[in-house]
Structures are given as structure tokens and as C-alpha cells.
Amino acid sequence: MPNITVPAAGGAMLAEGLTQSRRSLLVGLAAAPLIGAAAAPALADLPDADRQILAIDAKIAALDEKYEAVMAATRPFEDAREELRCKLDGFPWPSSGYRRARAAVDAFDRQHGLDVLYKQSEELTSKICDLRDEMFVLVATSPETRRAKVRMALQMAHCRLDRWRGPAEEIDPSHGIMRRLLGEYAGLTEAELAAI
């Protein structure tokens, strides 16, 4: 079974800093996002709700990294698993043929540790959804927090990022209108919107 361990943001820098002089470590920490002196005054000027939105956005980004690592571990098995899973379609549920095909998929998942990985992905997805719910209750008043909420809204939209990503001329016109409107609200450029 694959063992997925994703280091916390900045963990590599901190580990490296521990082997350096105290002065080097302090310089590294001062340069870290949201920790250095330059970032503190900007955060201090924001209303509580905006600070909460940015904190939630950072938590979601960390969970997204872990989710991507888990999904990357499943990708080498996707084609073989899909071939097995497609056999389920040939049998009505809950026939004996369906149960045999389902058992083959389950055995494949256990053999390759996919059952554990899929469980991890579900848990991470649940945590991300809870954080998104918390975020959307809060009112964004700064450009940074509006951008965070718009990015999240576009990522959530129909859970189909391909409908919103890419150059404007390559997406459905109705999606393009909504994307431009959200981008205007958040102050996102067309390039930033295309990369969401």
C-alpha cells in the first residue's frame, strides 16, 4: 500500500534552516509567506472576516496539495481499474454477475492500496468542502479575499474545472460570461481566470 506523506508548507525550508546557523533560520522565517514583517501590517489592516477567509484559503491549499498527492498515487492504476469497473455495467444489480465483477474491483483496490487512497481522498474532500462552507458564510471586502472566494467558486462549479479553464475562446460562451463577471468582481486577469 502506498504511503502518502505530504510535508507541510514551508516544512522543507524549516528543516533546512535547522541545520544552518540561527541567523540563517531567522532570515528564512522572515521571508516565509504571511510570517515576515512585510506581510503582518497588510493582514493587520484587514477586517476579521477577511483574515478568516485568507486563513481558510491557506488551509484549503494545504489540503488540496495532499489530495493531489493521493490522486497522483492512484493514476498508474486508473486504466486497469476502469477496465474492471466497466464490467459492472454488463450486469444488473444485484445479480451474481454484478457481485463477482464488484468483488474483482474491490480485490484490485485492496491489492494496490487504492481502497486506502480512495478513503483518504474522500476524507480530504469532506474537509475541503467544510472549509469552503465556512469561507462562503464570510463576507469578502478586500481584493485578496474576493479573489480567494472567486477561485473557490470556479473550482466548485459543477466539479468540472474543464468548463472554466483555458482561453476564453475555447470555453462555452455562457461559462465565459460568468467567468468574466466573477473575474471583474475579484480583479482577476483573463490569464489568471484561464489558469484556475
Q: What is the pLDDT of residue 124?
A: 92
Contacts of 145 (CB under 8 A, 6+ apart): 46, 49, 50, 53, 54, 57, 138
Give the single-character DSSP code of 139: P
Mean pLDDT by 10 residues, the chain (196 residues): 42 33 31 37 75 92 92 92 84 82 91 93 91 89 87 69 72 78 78 76
Residue in 40, 81, 63, 68 with CA at minimum distance from that of residue 161: 68
Residue whose C-alpha cell is 481566470: 193
* Every domain of the chain and the residues it spans: 8-45, 65-137, 142-196
Contacts of 41 (CB under 8 A, 6+ apart): none
Q: What is the pLDDT of residue 3?
A: 44
The values of phi and psi at residue 177, to 5°, are -65, -45
Q: What is the pLDDT of residue 156?
A: 72
Q: What is the pLDDT of residue 91?
A: 77
Q: What is the pLDDT of residue 108?
A: 92
Q: What is the pLDDT of residue 157?
A: 64
Q: Tell me the angle at which helices 22-31 and 11-18 cross, rounded to the nearest 10 degrees.
A: 160
